[in-house]
Every structure is written in structure tokens, then in C-alpha cells.
Amino acid sequence: MPQKIVQVSHSVIEATKAFLSENLEHPHLVVLSVKDQTALFKVARKLDTTGVRYRIFIEPDRGDEATALCTEVISGDARRIFKNYQCI
């Protein structure tokens, strides 16, 4: 399952590159896991303090639960913000 998530994400990036900008480099994707919605919002607050932009996905079929978060492309030392999270 994790590989499917990554592959779908790659296709989204490729579509975005094709439609929005041809000059973007293809970034690496990392899928991380947190325990629940509370933990997801904790990550969001941490991102707010570091200035990393993100979007939270709210799933209407799950009572408008926050189920995922995606950041802007992050590189270099900025990636350290995620070092304590579990990869899936």
C-alpha cells in the first residue's frame, strides 16, 4: 500500500508540472504517518512555527476529519523537521 501512495503522488506531481510549470524539478516523496487527527494538527502547528507551507485535506466522507497533510517542496536542512516521524 505505501508504494501505491507514493506512485499516485508522483503522478500528481507530474501532472502539476505539466500543467503549471515545465521548469520544476521532480522532488523526492516521503510518506509519513501520525497516530490521529490530533497528531496531524500538532504537525501543522510545528510547520506554522517554521514557515513551511502546507495544506490539510479534510475528508467529507469521514465527518470532515483531517486525514492528510502535504507540504510544499522541502529540501536541504529544512527536511530535518520530519526526522522524528515514522515512514510508512
Q: Distance between CA 7 and CA 29 in Å, rounded?
A: 9
pLDDT in tens, 53-82: 888 888 888 899 998 888 888 888 888 998
Nearest to 46 by CA among 77, 71, 66: 71
pTM above 0.85, yes or no: no
* Spans of all domains in the chain: 25-87
d(CA 80, CA 76): 8
Is the confidence at residue 25, as pLDDT, over 80?
A: no
